[in-house]
Amino acid sequence: GDSVTQMEGPVTLSEEAFLTINCTYTATGYPSLFWYVQYPGEGLQLLLKATKADDKGSNKGFEATYRKETTSFHLEKGSVQVSDSAVYFCALFSSFFNKFYFGSGTKLNVKP
Amino acid sequence: GAGVSQSPSNKVTEKGKDVELRCDPISGHTALYWYRQSLGQGLEFLIYFQGNSAPDKSGLPSDRFSAERTGGSVSTLTIQRTQQEDSAVYLCASSLAIGYGYTFGSGTRLTVV
């Protein structure tokens, strides 16, 4: 089956620092790629997505570009805030297998 | 409803008891997925429904786990003779159709003592 690998956390940054969370994938066919965010005590929320190669997903200052050549979908933000502290999950949806595959999650702690 | 609703939000049960977890998808969503999130782990696929049928049950961990969906709407995940390793957050997601945007519920936190 398909799989997603993302960098282990926790990642601790100071406010206004630059964020990168790496994500790579293995997939059959042409998956859609997602980043989900889980704030403390809450469910998963879609942060952004990209459905084909070279697409860039963006939301709330976060960006990720679907790179087919490197099978990557790294999450970036130029200036993080304390309110961005959460667990971030990279995921792909396989139209071949009709299911999501999730990475193990990366916990981000942003300190004031 | 406006979102995917799961109940109960928290459940503590004794080892060996049966539990039922409920998922109320967004109205009109035909695809429904169950995932499990264990402490410190990623999300593990359990089962998905297209309408009332379950084309893929491959993620169910054992025959103690079963799920059904009736009327193309509400789904129930049942765990029989619960074990401590069943402790996790069980998440449900629904979608208008396979491949469309997915909305997750807030999950049911199951603790087996």
- On the question of pLDDT at B1 being above 60, the answer is no
- Whole-number Å distance between alpha carbons of B4 and B21: 13
Largest CA-CA distance found in chain A, in angstroms, rounded: 44
- In chain B, what residues touch A97 (CB-CB under 8 Å)? 56
How confident is the model over B64-85, as a mean pLDDT?
A: 95
Tens of pLDDT along A33-42? 999 999 987 8
A108 has pLDDT over 90: yes
Candidates A6, A99, A101, A107: best to mutate against B (most CBs of B within 10 A) is A99
Judge: A100–B42 Cβ closer than 8 Å, yes or no.
no
Q: Which residues of chain B lie closer than 8 angstroms to A100, CB-CB?
A: 33, 35, 43, 45, 93, 102
Tell me the average pLDDT across B81-97: 93
Give B35's contacts in chain A (Cβ within 8 Å): 100, 102
Q: Which amino acid is at A31?
A: P
Task: From residue B8, give the alpha-carbon distance in Å to each of A80, B5, B51.
Answer: 34, 9, 23
Q: For A78-91, how does the pLDDT look when each residue is reduced to its tens digit (9 = 90+)? A: 999 999 999 999 99
Percent of chain A whose pLDDT exceeds 90: 74
Residue B89, strand partner residues: B37, B109
Task: Residue B49: count other Cβ atoms within 10 Å of its Cβ.
Answer: 23
pLDDT of A15: 97
In sequence order, the 6+-apart residues with CB closer than 8 A to the CB of A88 are: A6, A21, A35, A36, A37, A38, A47, A75, A105, A106, A107, A108
Residues of B in contact with A101 (CB under 8 A): 45
Share of chain B above pLDDT 70, in %: 96
Cβ neighbours of residue A11 closer than 8 Å, sequence gap 6 or more: A19, A21, A106, A107, A108, A109
Burial A62-85 (b: 16+ CB within 10 A, else e): bbbbbeeeebbbbbebeebeeebb
Out of A49, A99, A103, whose CB is closest to B45? A99
Confidence of residue B65 (pLDDT cuts 50, 70, 90): very high
CA distance A90 to A88: 7
In angstroms, the separation between the Cα of residue B96 and the nearest Cα of chain A is 14
Which of the 8 DSSP states describes residue B39? T
Is the pLDDT at A66 greater than 70? The verdict is: yes
Does A57 contact chain B (CB < 8 Å)?
Answer: no
